[in-house]
């Protein structure tokens, strides 16, 4: 496991108390905390290099552009992108997927076509496709999940019989923690003639990602879940696809020439980066990637998987606790319910002990319906969590049981 005694001091917020208790932050699937290195990178950018990018003829503007483009290179290296030109900065996974739906989707999906998503997708990988399909008169097909929380491969195969134009799925489920066989799914989808869109919001922070090995077509990621700033993120795509796609947002920076009545487009990735970008977010994300690379993504995965294993083991010993998701092939996400205590009540009770967990539908309402629950509680781990955090979680859950006189269901 990682040496959290050395990691925790890098995160100023962890020194803070919550309700008079040590902060036990277990909502990392929602967003991660930020190390000083990231916070300082943002401050340093504004203190020393701030100017608009890609346009100034003066040295400061060149420095700002270099800082921005260095972050693009870092992302490309981090996920083994096809080319650094295939990395488009966005506000995060949601915008990345909307970009694909709004550009590639609108140009290529026609009435009668099919788009495939899965029942474990986050709303951000469902709703953009619903909007596209409604606009085009296309069919949205949702692939079912198995009882233990995996993508149902038989149903996935049936969905491919419709020869879908797009197949979208999450690499890692934010609600279940399932690590999906993304390379296999992508291969099957390609054989059926589809392009593949991988929601990488939960994989990028936690796994060693190699988009070329996955051989997907589009890969979306969010910076804020991987130690970076909120509003940072990227769409990583095969350059040839981006070349052929129409622009997403019109504006400055994305053009080559503007006539009175028409324009021609800048080269990729700039064609998709209209307007002044969030340079501080890009710079902060670059610093976050440097921090993760220093730890090593294999060690990061191993650490979280061990924490999840211990948490599942210990929570399972409490009578009335139900854990959701598969036994193996899972990331550091532990969804659970406890008897008839509503997850919101659990979250409130845990908060009093300084333990922050998420309670609710986790932006996966179709999945919740299939699990037959309105909500779950979810503990999710990251590099600064340790076994003391799991002690605090388990103690607080037991306390909730005492308060509510839990009826084990």
Partner 1 sequence: MNDLGDLYQQVILDHNRNPRNFKRLESANRKAEGNNPLCGDRIQLYVQLDGGTITDIGFQMPQGSGCAISKASASLMTDAVKGKPVKDAEAMFAAFRGMLSGGANAPGKLAAFSGVRAFPSRIKCANLAWHALHAALQNSAEPVTTESAKDF
* 148 close to 330: Cβ distance less than 8 angstroms: no
In whole angstroms, the minimum distance from the beta carbon of 370 to partner 1 comes to 14
In whole angstroms, the minimum distance from the beta carbon of 398 to partner 1 comes to 13
Nearer to partner 1, 233 or 343 (CB): 343
Sheet order of strands, 195-199 included: 87-90, 233-237, 218-222, 195-199, 166-170, 114-118, 139-143
Does residue 265 interact with partner 1 by CB under 8 A?
A: no
Beta carbons within 8 Å of 168's beta carbon, 6+ residues apart: 97, 115, 116, 117, 118, 121, 125, 129, 196, 197, 198, 199
| Region 330-349 residues binding partner 1, contact defined as CB under 8 A | 341-345, 348-349
Q: Is 97 left (phi over 0), alpha (psi -120 to 50) or beta?
A: alpha
A 10 A CB-CB count for 367 gives: 26
In whole angstroms, the minimum distance from the beta carbon of 110 to partner 1 comes to 33
Does residue 39 interact with partner 1 by CB under 8 A?
A: no
Beta carbons within 8 Å of 240's beta carbon, 6+ residues apart: none
Nearer to partner 1, 66 or 340 (CB): 340
Q: Is the peptide bond before 22 cis (omega within 30 degrees of 0)?
A: no
Nearer to partner 1, 187 or 342 (CB): 342
| Region 285-304 residues binding partner 1, contact defined as CB under 8 A | none
State the binding string over 355-384 for partner 1 (x if CB under 8 A, else -): ----xxx---x--x----xxx---------
In whole angstroms, the minimum distance from the beta carbon of 396 to partner 1 comes to 11
In whole angstroms, the minimum distance from the beta carbon of 314 to partner 1 comes to 22
In whole angstroms, the minimum distance from the beta carbon of 368 to partner 1 comes to 7
Does residue 8 interact with partner 1 by CB under 8 A?
A: no
Structure token pair of residue 409: 């269901």
Structure token pair of residue 254: 């994305």
| Region 390-409 residues binding partner 1, contact defined as CB under 8 A | 399, 403-405
Look up tokens 């539908």; give the residue.
361
Q: Is residue 398 classed as helix, strand or coil in its secondary structure? A: helix
Structure token pair of residue 260: 């009175």
Report the distance separating Cα 224 and Cα 221, nearest Å.
Answer: 9
Nearer to partner 1, 317 or 405 (CB): 405
Does residue 115 interact with partner 1 by CB under 8 A?
A: no
The Cα angle at residue 54 between residues 216 and 235, in degrees rounded to 5? 15
The stretches of 317-386 forming alpha helices (DSSP H) are 343-352, 365-371
In whole angstroms, the minimum distance from the beta carbon of 408 to partner 1 comes to 14
Does residue 276 interact with partner 1 by CB under 8 A?
A: no
Going 43 to 207 to 330 to 201, the CA torsion angle's sign is positive
Q: Which of 123, 299, 352, 370 binds partner 1 (CB under 8 A)?
A: 352
Nearer to partner 1, 83 or 323 (CB): 323
Nearer to partner 1, 162 or 356 (CB): 356
Nearer to partner 1, 117 or 341 (CB): 341
Does residue 142 interact with partner 1 by CB under 8 A?
A: no
Interface positions with partner 1 (CB under 8 A): 341-345, 348-349, 352, 359-361, 365, 368, 373-375, 399, 403-405
């Amino acid at each position: 496991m990682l040496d959290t005694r050395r990691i925790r001091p890098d995160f100023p917020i962890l020194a803070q108390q919550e309700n008079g208790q040590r902060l036990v932050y277990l909502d990392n699937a929602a967003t991660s905390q930020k190390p000083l290195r990231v916070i300082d990178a943002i401050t340093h950018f504004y203190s020393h290099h701030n100017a608009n990018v890609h346009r100034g003829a003066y040295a400061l503007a060149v420095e700002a552009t270099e800082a921005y483009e260095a972050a693009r290179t870092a992302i490309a290296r981090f996920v083994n992108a096809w080319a650094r030109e295939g990395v488009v900065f966005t506000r995060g996974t949601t915008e990345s997927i909307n970009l694909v739906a709004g550009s590639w989707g609108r140009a290529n999906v026609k009435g009668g076509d099919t788009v495939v998503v899965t029942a474990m997708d986050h709303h951000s990988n469902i709703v953009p496709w619903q909007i596209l399909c409604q606009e085009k008169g296309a069919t949205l097909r949702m692939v079912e999940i198995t009882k233990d929380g995996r993508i149902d491969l038989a149903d996935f195969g049936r969905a491919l019989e419709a020869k879908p134009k797009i197949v979208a799925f999450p690499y890692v489920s934010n609600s279940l923690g399932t690590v999906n066989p993304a390379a296999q799914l992508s291969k099957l989808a390609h054989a059926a003639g589809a392009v593949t869109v991988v929601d990488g919001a939960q994989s990028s922070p936690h796994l060693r990602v190699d988009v070329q090995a996955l051989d997907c077509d589009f890969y979306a990621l969010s910076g804020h879940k991987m130690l970076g700033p909120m509003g940072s993120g990227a769409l990583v795509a095969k350059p040839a696809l981006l070349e052929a796609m129409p622009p997403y947002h019109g504006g400055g920076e994305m053009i080559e020439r503007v006539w009175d009545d028409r324009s021609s487009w800048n080269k990729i990735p700039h064609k998709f980066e209209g307007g002044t970008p969030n340079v501080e977010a890009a710079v902060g994300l670059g610093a976050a990637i440097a921090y993760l690379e220093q730890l090593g993504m294999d060690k990061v995965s191993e650490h979280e998987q061990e924490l999840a294993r211990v948490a599942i083991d210990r929570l399972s010993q409490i009578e009335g606790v139900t854990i959701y998701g598969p036994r193996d092939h899972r990331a550091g996400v532990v969804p659970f319910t406890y008897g008839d205590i509503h997850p919101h009540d659990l979250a409130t009770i845990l908060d009093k002990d300084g333990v922050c967990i998420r309670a609710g539908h986790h932006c996966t309402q179709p999945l919740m319906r299939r699990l037959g629950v309105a909500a779950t509680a979810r503990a999710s781990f990251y590099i600064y969590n340790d076994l003391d955090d799991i002690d605090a979680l388990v103690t607080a859950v037991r306390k909730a049981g005492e308060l509510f006189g839990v009826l084990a269901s």
